[in-house]
Amino acid sequence: MSDTLIFSMEVFLNGLMAGVLYALVALGFVLIYKASGIFNYAQGVMALFAALTLVGIMDGQVPFSHLINAALGTDIHHFGWHVPAFIGIILSMGVMVILAWIVQKVIFRHLVGQEPIILFMATIGLAYFMEGLGDIMWGSDIKKLDVGLPQGINIAIDEATYGIFGYGFFIDNLDIVATIIAALLVGVLVIFSQYTKQGRAMRAVADDHQAALSVGINLNFIWVMVWSVAGFVALVAGIMWGTKSGVQFSLSLIALKALPVLMLGGFTSIPGAIVGGLIIGVGEKMFEFLIGPMIGGATENWFAYVLALIFLVFRPQGLFGEKIIERV
């Protein structure tokens, strides 16, 4: 077998793994969009915020210490304790739920019935706000996140492929874990939305606000719940990406990576988010590998967008999205 083909296979596999991570972020978007019609640009920043909070809690940082020090002239940094990862994750989840509640109460309750594009712009504002808040609360330096996930090259795959092709594939353990977790997460979400009372209520709200209201579903509660679930997905995505490349500002840019995934898969479809993520992940890695060197490299920044753009011209609702019907 030729070298290029073997390399391509490795790139393909890595692309699949990257795609899973994109899909993970995209899932958060789809959830909120389906239930409330809000296209939440802040999802990426939520992941960053969740990861920052987790690190902050685990290290026992004092929130807003930077601000307090500057305003009062004190010098405080840490409480001096360390919290185990498991408890840290639960506490972070609590913070995300509170955040969801505030977001719903302060912002989106006042914007019910506005045009989708206004809501979209509001989430951009929210993204900016949370970016500043995260930095002020926990400081803007790059942090290491370690919740005990395995990292580094997977020896078993390396040896197995070496036996077959005479070349060991480099697959990161973390990517494998991420794939498994993403699969689990999707399973849990599907079960939640299909078989639980709250999940059904959520789908009802997504279908028709008025009808849901008239059968006695508490809209406010459902929306807080949806934002909490999105916060949970953001936390998982934040942990994965944070472990991979450190908790830093660029984490919030994964939202920009997830947007073309959504366009490709359709905004309203959970399977679409996953398939779209895989297509984009594989597509951009293969494009960079095969064609990138010819045109100057670093094509990953735009390839996904251009692919999604071309795709949308032919199918405006994405792969699995609901058909867009317009009435006058």
Partner 1 sequence: MFYREAGDFKTSYQEDNQTFPIKFDRYRYYAVLFVAFAVIPFMINDYWVNAIFLPFLIYSIAAIGLNILVGYTGQVSLGTGGFMAVGAYAVYKLMTAFPEVSILIHVVLAGGITAIVGMLFGLPSLRIKGFYLAVATLAAQFFLVWLFNRVPWFYNYSASGQISAPERTVAGIPVTGANTEAWAPYLVCLVFVTLSALIARNLTRGAVGRRWMAIRDMDIAAEIIGVNPLTAKLTAFGVSSFFVGIAGALFFAVYLGAVEVGEAFGINKSFLVLFMIIIGGLGSIFGSFAGAAFLVLLPVFLKNVLVGTLGWPTDLAAHLEFMIVGGLIITFLIAEPHGLAQLWRVAKEKLRLWPFPY
Interface with partner 1 (CB under 8 A), residue from 194, 245, 301, 322: 301
Separation of first and last alpha carbons in the chain: 59
Nearer to partner 1, 168 or 281 (CB): 281
Provide the β-strand partners of residue 325: none
Count of chain residues binding partner 1 (CB under 8 A): 51
Interface with partner 1 (CB under 8 A), residue from 120, 191, 208, 218: 120
Residues 24-63: x where in contact with partner 1 by CB under 8 A, - otherwise, as a string: ---------------x------------------------
Distance between CA atoms of 67 and 77, rounded to whole angstroms? 11
Residues 132-171: x where in contact with partner 1 by CB under 8 A, - otherwise, as a string: xx-xx---x-------------------------------
Interface with partner 1 (CB under 8 A), residue from 72, 80, 296, 323: 296
Distance between CA atoms of 318 and 295, rounded to whole angstroms? 28
C-alpha of 254 from chain center: 7
Query: Considering only CA atoms, which of 271, 240, 258 is closest in space to residue 304?
Result: 258
- Closest approach of partner 1 to the CB of residue 206, in Å: 17
Nearer to partner 1, 43 or 154 (CB): 43
- Closest approach of partner 1 to the CB of residue 259, in Å: 5
Distance between CA atoms of 167 and 266, rounded to whole angstroms? 38
Cβ proximity of 102 and 126 under 8 Å: no
Interface with partner 1 (CB under 8 A), residue from 125, 166, 187, 293: 125
Residue span binding partner 1 (CB under 8 A) among the ranges 16-24, 143-151, 156-164, 311-319: 311-319
- Closest approach of partner 1 to the CB of residue 255, in Å: 11
Angle between helices 173-195 and 3-36 (to 10 degrees): 30
Nearer to partner 1, 79 or 302 (CB): 302
Nearer to partner 1, 230 or 263 (CB): 263
Query: Considering only CA atoms, which of 158, 170, 241 is closest in space to residue 11?
Result: 170
In degrees, to the nearest 5, what angle opens at C-alpha 14 toward C-alphas 268 and 47?
50
Strands (E), 67-218: none
Distance between CA atoms of 140 and 236, rounded to whole angstroms? 21
**297 belongs to the binding site for partner 1 (CB under 8 A):** yes
Distance between CA atoms of 116 and 268, rounded to whole angstroms? 14
Query: Considering only CA atoms, which of 172, 179, 301 is closest in space to residue 245?
Result: 172
**127 belongs to the binding site for partner 1 (CB under 8 A):** yes
Interface with partner 1 (CB under 8 A), residue from 48, 126, 174, 236: 126
Nearer to partner 1, 50 or 240 (CB): 50
**316 belongs to the binding site for partner 1 (CB under 8 A):** yes
Where does residue 58 rank: exposed (0-12), middle (13-18), buried (19+ CB within 10 A)? Answer: buried
Distance between CA atoms of 308 and 208, rounded to whole angstroms? 29
Cβ proximity of 299 and 287 under 8 Å: yes
Nearer to partner 1, 5 or 295 (CB): 295
Interface with partner 1 (CB under 8 A), residue from 1, 76, 87, 111: 111
**263 belongs to the binding site for partner 1 (CB under 8 A):** yes
Q: What are 3-9's contacts with CB under 8 Å, separation 24+?
A: 3/167, 6/165, 6/167, 7/289, 8/286, 8/289, 8/290, 9/169
Kindly list the residues in this chain that would bind partner 1 in the complex (CB under 8 A). 39, 66-67, 70-71, 107, 110-111, 114, 116-118, 120-122, 124-133, 135-136, 140, 256, 259-260, 262-263, 267, 295-299, 301-302, 305-306, 308-309, 312-313, 316, 324, 326, 328
